[in-house]
Structure 1
Amino acid sequence: MSMNPPKLSMFQVLACGAAIVTLSMGTRHGFGLWLQPITQEMGWTRQTFALAIAIQNLSWGLIGIFAGMAADRFGAFRVLLAGAALYAAGLAGMALSPTPLLFALTTGVLIGAAQAGTTYAVIYGVLGRQIAPEKRSWAMGVAAAAGSFGQFLMVPLEGWLIASFGWQQALLTLSLAVLLIVPLAFGLREPGFKGTAPVKRDQTVAQALLEAFRYPSFTLLMAGYFVCGFQVVFIGVHMPSYLKDNGLSPQVASYALALIGLFNVFGTYIAGTLGQRLQKRYILAFIYFARAVAIAIFLVAPLSPASVYIFSAVMGTLWLSTIPPTNATIAQIFGVQHLSMLGGFVFFSHQIGSFLGVWLGGYLYDATGSYDIVWYIAIALGVFAALVNLPVKESPIQRRAPVPA
């Protein structure tokens, strides 16, 4: 039996992985469009909706660690099948939940678990194992760009579904659409994964975790990713309501989210490509600082559809462009044996930020009648993230000898 099983073709991995991320991420990017229809019809506060989405982000992050472990050990295929089934069930539950508790369990816990099994940590594990290091950052950029294209494609579609069929039927339609992940998952069945690890591992899970958490650059990457989560989920979920509160039509919000998705295609691809040539810590520092500047200018400038579209284009370029350099840096430092799991831990930090961003948005809006405080927090955190990424060491970690068990 060969110690190095044959590889999947790069085209197959990228095509199937990108299509899955398009569906999974594209669907979730439109959830902000449901905030007002659901809260108004059900008589719930914005905080009720925001709390469910906040729980979704925590569930995604926490379960993502274990989904990453499972994908590293058993391959992505099984994890993707489970994730697709949970996604369909969660979206149906989001449509039919009669109480805030059931809404939080389905929209929050179930959909979060589904996203853990169908998004970047799992897909990037396949890319890391199947694609050569000299093309890895670029490939991760392509996959992230696909998720961005999913936002551009899916958000207007979701807005159209809500307007045409009502919010409940729109969610039920999406619950069927995400089952397309199942046939796509067959393209990511990795040779060698037959229920056991395909190659001998130099480290156990515990040893890999101990090594990572003792390495300062790993915790710095986690800190930066926390800020990424806070900013993008606050803006993605609350910006439609912020614009409507300020007298702009729902169409402006739909177009704004679609523009973020469109420009994110370019931003993530460029970030992945630059990651092959430049130090990734400088790319990350630039992205976070540029976000802080963009938000500050958006708040100072007079609000109009034009200013919203310009802000969306700029933020879109910076939106998920943190993902390829962050994950490629983890692979570069620690190798690919435990890439999905380590990526899952860094992503959990992202999701704690997401939880705080979306929940604080709802809480402070209900308390003050304004989103201003959260916008200011987002600016300060952007500067903080830019600074903590600068000291990251990207070179492969020096292992003197196998760590004793």
Structure 2
Amino acid sequence: MSIFRFPPLVWLGIGILIVSLGIRQSFGIFMMPISEHFDTGREFFSFAIALQNLLFGIFQPFVGMAADKWGSKRIILVGAIAYSLGLYLTSITNETGVLYLSLGALVGLGLSATSYVIILGAVAKVVPAEHAAKAFGLTTAAGSFGMFAMIPVAQLMLEDMGWQGALQGFAALCTVMIAFALFMRSSQQNSASKTVVEENNLTLKQALNEAFHHKGYWLIHAGFFVCGFHVMFIATHLPSYLAGKHLPANSAALALAYVGIFNIFGSYFWGLMGDKFSKRHVMSMLYLFRTVVIAAFVTFPVTEYTAAWFGGAIGFCWLGTVPLTSGLVRQIFGARYLSTLYGLVFFTHQVGSFLGAWAGGRIYDYYGSYEPIWWSTVVLAFIAALIHLPINDKPLRVAANA
């Protein structure tokens, strides 16, 4: 199936992701003006963003269950409203504590209802299984594009309207997600098949019990934990690592820019490979690729050239795990409760993200070097490559039909 023949819901989901993740990625440039406005230092704003990410992960399984029960459309509408309200309250408050509710809780809830888990769950219900990974890859790539396309917009608004006006502009932009959600319609094109009938008759409790007793589901959790550990460690500590190697500040910015650019192409590429070949084998290759890339980066002398090379190489497999992981869950357990089952996997990813960011700083403070944590990421990448190989990826619903 050509990407141009995907149902309209796929493109509406892509539009929602561009707005949702694009706004999220821009929060970093608000740190200084908000910290100066409240005269609190950077830790205050950093904690609000950390709380946002933690709640993002905690909310995700419950939001996924709600989407599977009442439909993605309603959940996205509620999430977009919470997102908009959180941004607007942040822009008008004079109390620092309110930011923990607005920028932390409300925006965290909004992200959980308008990002990958919910959108991919909706996409899975309208795209045939044999093209799901490609659709997931395209959707992930578009979300990656939004992450970096929105930053220049945020910077322009910040310069012209100040941080309050910029956040209010983003709050207004959230209405685009509401508009897109209103047009979302589920496809019933496969509803006559026996497989889908069985999925629809399966209760949430049965689906959870089935997944919890499936060894492969826990191996998928373990792999996505490693992904979260990698992503947040690198995103948080790469600039400090390069600074410690006496590289200019713009080398870190350039490396992270390459991460974003190559992630766009990588997400679609890995999704495409997941449709052509076994997803668990492709996932193993992705983690082997990460193993080699990270090991080479910490082995060879760190220069501006190798930093840029590393950014592009690691960016190519940065979020390629998303279409493959969600595709594996969909392939094994079906599309009916994908938002719930993938939401639980995503929570494990966020636990890995938290530990990656925290352990990087903890180990550096203890050893005075990032080398131990870098080699730990190499070992984890290799373990992740191995644990995907024994996953039994046979669809359970097909087995039930047989």
Residue 61 of structure 2 aligns with an amino acid whose one-letter code is I
Does the 8 Å contact 1:76/1:189 carry over to 2?
no
More moved, 292-301 vs 59-68: 292-301
Q: What is residue 211 of structure 2 aligned with on the other side?
A: 212
More moved, 131-140 vs 237-246: 237-246
**Please, which runs of 5 or more residues in structure 2 have no aligned partner?**
189-195
Change in 2 beyond 3 A, CA 1:97/1:300: farther
Q: CA deviation at 1:220?
A: 0.3
**Please, which runs of 5 or more residues in structure 1 have no aligned partner?**
1-8, 193-197
Matched residues in 2 for 1:93 and 1:244: separation?
Answer: 36
CA RMSD of aligned residues (A): 3.3
Q: What is residue 24 of structure 1 aligned with on the other side?
A: 20
Q: CA deviation at 1:118?
A: 0.4
TM-score, L = length of structure 2: 0.83
More moved, 225-234 vs 296-305: 296-305
1:122 maps onto 2:121 in alignment: no
Matched residues in 2 for 1:308 and 1:228: separation?
Answer: 20
Matched residues in 2 for 1:284 and 1:99: separation?
Answer: 46
Matched residues in 2 for 1:362 and 1:100: separation?
Answer: 26
Q: CA deviation at 1:35?
A: 5.3
Q: CA deviation at 1:373?
A: 4.9
Q: Identify the structure with bigger relative contact order (alpha carbons < 8 Å, sequence gap 6+).
A: 1
Q: What is residue 283 of structure 1 aligned with on the other side?
A: 282
Does the 8 Å contact 2:9/2:185 carry over to 1?
no
Q: CA deviation at 1:168?
A: 5.4
Q: What is residue 56 of structure 1 aligned with on the other side?
A: 52
Matched residues in 2 for 1:93 and 1:368: separation?
Answer: 42
Q: CA deviation at 1:275?
A: 0.9
Does the 8 Å contact 1:10/1:131 carry over to 2?
yes
TM-score, L = length of structure 1: 0.83
Change in 2 beyond 3 A, CA 1:391/1:185: same
Does the 8 Å contact 1:152/1:257 carry over to 2?
no
Q: What is residue 10 of structure 2 aligned with on the other side?
A: 14
Matched residues in 2 for 1:173 and 1:241: separation?
Answer: 32
- Greater percentage in helix: 2
Matched residues in 1 for 2:32 and 2:303: separation?
Answer: 21
> What is the number of equivalent residue pairs in this alignment?
388
Matched residues in 1 for 2:22 and 2:248: separation?
Answer: 22
Percent of matched pairs sharing the same residue: 38
Does the 8 Å contact 1:57/1:354 carry over to 2?
no
Q: How does 1:152-191 map to 2 (within 5 A)?
A: 152-158=148-154, 169-190=165-186
Question: Which residue of 49, 69, 75 corresponds with 2:71?
Answer: 75
Q: What is residue 389 of structure 1 aligned with on the other side?
A: 388
Does the 8 Å contact 2:291/2:378 carry over to 1?
yes
1:345 maps onto 2:344 in alignment: yes
Question: Which residue of 148, 165, 172 corresponds with 2:144?
Answer: 148
Matched residues in 2 for 1:91 and 1:379: separation?
Answer: 38
Matched residues in 1 for 2:347 and 2:283: separation?
Answer: 18
Matched residues in 1 for 2:45 and 2:160: separation?
Answer: 22
Q: What is residue 135 of structure 2 aligned with on the other side?
A: 139
Matched residues in 2 for 1:339 and 1:389: separation?
Answer: 19
Q: CA deviation at 1:107?
A: 3.4
Q: What is residue 358 of structure 1 aligned with on the other side?
A: 357
